[in-house]
Amino acid sequence: MLKVLKNLKKSFWSVVIIVVLLCVQAAADLALPDYTSKIVNVGIQAGGIETLVPKLISKEDMELVLILTNQNKEILNNYTLLGSNLSEKQSKTIEQYFSKDYKIEPNSIYILNEIGEETEQELAKIISTPLMELNTIKNEEMANQIKEQMANNMPEAQRQMVISQNLEDIIKNMPQEQREVLLDQYTKQIDEMSDSIKEQAAVATIKQIYEDLGVDTDKIQNSYILLSGIQMLGVALISMVSAVLIILFSSRVAAKLGQTLRNKVFKKVLSFSNKELSEFSTASLITRSTNDIQQIQQLITMLFRVVVYAPIMGIGGFIKVLTNSDNSMAWIIGVAILAILFIVGTLFFIAMPKFRKLQDLTDKLNLVSREILTGLPVIRAFNTEKREEGRFDEANQDLMKTNIFVNRAMSMMMPMLMFVMNSMMILIIWVGGHGVDQGIIQVGNMMAFIQYMMQILISFLMISMISIMLPRASVSANRIMDVIETEPSIKEKRKTKEFDPSKKGLVEFKNVCFRYPDADTEILEDINFTAKPGETTAIIGSTGSGKSTIVNLLPRFYDVTGGELLIDGVNIKDVSMKKLRDIIGFVPQKGILFSGTIESNIKYADEEMSDEQMIQAAEIAQAVEFIETKEKKYKDDISQGGSNVSGGQKQRLSIARAIAKDPEIFVFDDSFSALDFKTDSALREALAQKTENKTVIIVAQRISTILNANQIIVLDEGKVVGTGTHEELMRDNETYRQIALSQLSEEELNGNSNKMIENNKKDKEE
């Protein structure tokens, strides 16, 4: 898989942008629970009061606060008593809390100075306890309880006097030692309280202080919630835009990778010899170029979000839980992660072996489908539709069963993971509810914890989802790399030789031997003959004697395993394959046409070829007759594989394509088999004029096709058993004689021979 990902180098900057955007999105998503917590804790519960230090406090309340603490200096250093002249910043603060027409009496309100965050935190620690005590004093019910406790052991008259007085006045007039003893009891009780309760009590006191001043606390609350909501929407918008851009860039990167892999696979396949093509079936190569690469492309589209985004969210969420909220429930996340890893690991272990089998079965189904569709006429002719349906059903059933197994295994994953997620949610609410009830956790913190929990679990869910695609994509990646990393058995040398101009068109087989890869025996043994320019060399023999193998060695579809094959005086292993194939006009045994037009097929070697050259090639190949009957003539369409023309027409167009190339050497691999005798004769006669100075090598099954060849090579079981003209072989070679007599009578053979002798005499006289 990593080898495939190395092809992302072309999209390096796009990948960098994706990673940056993923970090931005993750940061935005991780910030959202904080806003939820603040809206609940500060906006709703604290009435929009963000800090535990009052921004404004009346002179009377400040005096009482100072009485309740022994750190007066530290508090007063951070406050200023407002006079009649206000600074610009003081005026803005007043406007924030009061209406514009509100009049402040001089020396009646203390305002908090502009201090740093650290100083404010220190001040909060100092002032929070006296603020809670102030809240207790101002609370009528609590104040009455304190007065009752104070008056318990007093005479009735004194007791009634204490109860009737204001608690604030009592504390102010109380001797310092007695006041300290009284306050010390409440200070100890406050210190024993949880931080959450302390904060709530301090906030409630600040809210009461503001109300005493006439501040509109509802305005403070609404403003805070509105501002936090707008900020939250802004962060969510950043997350959304980042997500859209990530999908856009990921899709482009995946598409680019798919294009790169398809190009590499296609170029590699073009460099394959017949040996490599036989190792990878056509159906398998098509599957690897389409389905397998599509699997990789789909994976890459999601991979960045998982590989980068999920870990950031998982780790970031866990850190947030440990640092920004109460960490007493962090163990719940640990349990959830372990449960998810167990489920994913188990299913992954079960399903992984089936993914490779899945791709192999897809290959098999493609192979069977292609074979059946290609051989449909034969299947119908032999009434074997039921048998072929059975073959297809078997391949289809195997693929279906494997697919069902994999899908069942993976379909269990999501319900199980959702069960884990919902169970953990219930556990959080249960544990968190007890914490809220005991004052250990604030509601907003619990809600933030739930959101962080969701983010962490969703990141693991994303990883689990990718684990469904990853095994199959990994198998596909290996199959793609198998093709890309396969080295062709036929390679060009770094330093190539040039052809010898003095031996143009000369083909020499010198003790050539050949065996197919992994074969035990030689297909060709000790082949020796020379094909000269201006002459026709024919190769004939029984089926399986190695005729087609010999001509396949010429363009290096295979390499000789022994001896030497020379063209233009140079061993073909020492020359450029492009230059070698440029001088050969090869017509395969099975005519192959490409989708397009008649013109594009004849001009296949050179699109810039003149129309005159094209028409001349068609005339020599005897193809003009049927081309002229077409509605669009040379512009008429040719279907894929030439399925809309007959076998004879296909062969003639294949021959015309080779003739139009005008090479040094013509190779016809039994290319006249689908032609009638009249067309065959006319074609050979026209071809003889075109190839007057060319080397012509013909593989034939019909004796009539090669009667006038300058030399005939007779093969039997991969060996040359005869070389000569038709007359010489008929006289001296029993193998050739048997082949000839199996096709034509002796009278016909003698008659054709006499005609050939007469034609040769006329040619010499001319």
Distance in angstroms (rounded) separating the CA atoms of residues 218 and 199 = 20
- The answer to whether residue 166 scores a pLDDT higher than 80 is no
Could you tell me the two tokens for 733? 């070679």
Beta bridge partners of 510: 564
pLDDT for 757:
46
pLDDT tens digits, 304-320: 777 778 778 877 777 77
Q: Both 524 and 547 in a single domain? A: yes
- Estimate to the nearest angstrom the gap between the alpha carbon of 418 and the chain centroid: 26
| Confidence (pLDDT) at 747 | 61
Strand partners, 559: none
Average pLDDT over residues 738-756: 65
Please tell me whether residues 206 and 269 are part of one structural domain: no
Say whether pLDDT at 680 is over 60.
yes
Tokens standing for residue 244: 């859209």
Enumerate the β-bridge partners of residue 570: 567
The DSSP symbol for 487 reads P
Mean pLDDT of 584-611: 86
Nearest 5°: the CA angle 468, 471, 474 is 135
Examine the pLDDT at 190 and tell me if it is beyond 80: no
C-alpha torsion 180→183→188→190, nearest 10 = -150
For the residues 218-237, what does the mean pLDDT come to?
90
Mean pLDDT in the chain?
81
Query: Do 517 and 379 share a structural domain?
Result: no
In this predicted structure, what is the pLDDT of residue 6? 77
Cβ-contact 291, 444 below 8 angstroms: no
Strands (E) in 645-710, as ranges, are: 665-669, 695-699
Reduce the DSSP state of residue 630 to 3 states and report it: coil
User: How far is the C-alpha of 257 from the C-alpha of 260, rounded, in Å?
Assistant: 5
Specify if 49 maps to a domain.
yes
How many domains does the structure of the chain reveal? 4
Are 621 and 683 in contact by the 8 Å Cβ rule? The answer is yes
Q: Verify that 532 and 457 share a domain, yes or no.
A: no
Please report whether residue 654 resides in a domain.
no
- What gap in Å lies between CA 265 and CA 276, rounded to an integer? 13
Residues 396, 318 share a domain: yes
Note whether 473 and 564 are same-domain residues.
Answer: no
Confidence (pLDDT) at 242: 92
Task: Tell me the whole-structure pTM to 2 decimals.
Answer: 0.67
pLDDT at 761: 47
Task: Write the pLDDT tens digit of every residue in 451-477.
Answer: 887 877 777 777 767 766 777 777 788
* CA quadruple 705, 708, 713, 715: dihedral sign: positive
696 vs 472, higher pLDDT: 696
Residue 657 lies in a domain: no
pLDDT at 764 (0 to 100): 42
Among 263-277, 468-482, 682-696, the minimum mean pLDDT is found in 468-482
> Taking Cα atoms as reference points, which of 187, 152, 146 lies closest to residue 168?
146
The C-alpha atoms of residue 680 and residue 419 are separated, in whole angstroms, by 77
Return the higher-pLDDT residue of 570 and 706.
570
Number of other residues whose CB lies within 10 A of the CB of residue 323? 8
Q: What is the pLDDT of residue 235?
A: 93
Considering the domain architecture, whether residues 759 and 686 belong to the same structural domain is answered as yes
| CA distances (Å), origin 138, targets 131, 135, 168, 273, 394 | 10, 5, 8, 97, 87
Nearest to 621 by CA among 641, 644, 645: 645
User: Are residues 317 and 260 located together in one domain of the fold?
Assistant: yes
Answer with the residue of higher pLDDT: 761 or 23. 23
Res 703 pLDDT > 50? yes
On whether the CB atoms of residues 695 and 666 are closer than 8 A, the answer is yes
Burial class (CB within 10 angstroms; exposed 0-12, middle 13-18, buried 19+) of 640: exposed
Q: Within 10 A of 224 (CB to CB), how many other CB atoms are there? A: 20
pLDDT above 90 covers a percentage of the chain that reads 4
* 201-204 contacts at long range (C-beta below 8 A, 24 or more positions apart): 201/131, 201/132, 201/135, 202/52, 202/124, 202/128, 202/131, 202/132, 202/135, 203/45, 203/46, 203/47, 203/49, 203/52, 204/135
Last residue of a domain, one of 226, 253, 271: 226
Q: Where are the alpha helices (DSSP H) in 412-442?
A: 413-437
Same domain membership, residue 427 and residue 336 = yes
State the Cα–Cα distance between residues 705 and 571, nearest whole angstrom.
Answer: 30
Spatial contact of 183 and 134, defined as CB atoms under 8 Å apart:
no
- pLDDT, one tens digit per residue, over 66-101 is 888 888 888 888 888 888 777 888 888 887 787 666
Report if residue 655 sits inside a domain.
no
Kindly indicate the confidence band of residue 283, based on its pLDDT and cuts at 50, 70 and 90.
Answer: confident
Q: Using the structure block, give the residue that is written with the tokens 């689990």.
A: 464
Using the predicted structure, report yes or no on whether residue 234 has a pLDDT greater than 90. yes
Q: Are 518 and 596 in a shared domain? A: no
CATH code of the domain containing 328: 1.20.1560.10
Each residue of 48-62: pLDDT tens digit? 888 888 888 888 888
- Domain boundary among the residues 170, 191, 226 is at 226
For residue 641, what are the domain limits? 590-647
The per-residue pLDDT for range 319-357, each reduced to its tens digit, is: 777 776 556 677 787 788 788 778 877 777 777 677 767
Let me know whether 579 and 594 are in one domain: no
- Which pLDDT value is given to residue 546? 85
Region 701-712: what's the mean pLDDT?
82
pLDDT over threshold 80, residue 386: yes
Q: Is residue 234 domain-resident?
A: no
| % of the chain exceeding 70 in pLDDT | 89
Residue 231: the pLDDT is: 92
pLDDT for position 195: 64
Q: Please tell me the predicted confidence (pLDDT) of residue 439.
A: 65
Give yes or no for a contact between 638 and 645, defined as CB atoms under 8 angstroms apart. yes
Q: Is residue 527 part of a domain?
A: yes
pLDDT higher than 50, residue 756: no
Domain assignment of residue 573, yes or no: yes
**Residue 609 DSSP symbol:** -
Instruction: Let me know whether 42 and 13 are in one domain.
Output: no
Question: What are 27's two structure tokens?
Answer: 């940061």
Reported residue count of the chain is 766
| 121-128, Cβ contacts within 8 angstroms, sequence gap of 24 or more | 122/74, 123/53, 123/74, 123/75, 123/78, 124/51, 124/52, 124/53, 124/202, 126/69, 126/71, 126/74, 126/75, 127/52, 127/53, 127/54, 127/65, 127/69, 127/75, 128/52, 128/198, 128/199, 128/202
Query: How large is the average pLDDT for residues 574-600?
Result: 87
Residue 492 inside a domain? The answer is no
| Of 627, 637, 641, residue with least CA distance to 596 | 637
| Contacts of residue 432, Cβ cutoff 8 Å, sequence gap at least 6 | 329, 441, 446, 449, 450
pLDDT of residue 348: 72
What pLDDT score does 182 carry?
A: 65
For residue 482, what are its two tokens?
A: 């198998």
Higher pLDDT, 719 or 190: 719
Q: Please state, in angstroms and rounded to a whole number, the distance separating the CA atoms of residues 439 and 456.
A: 26
Asked if the model's pLDDT at residue 240 lies above 90, the reply is yes
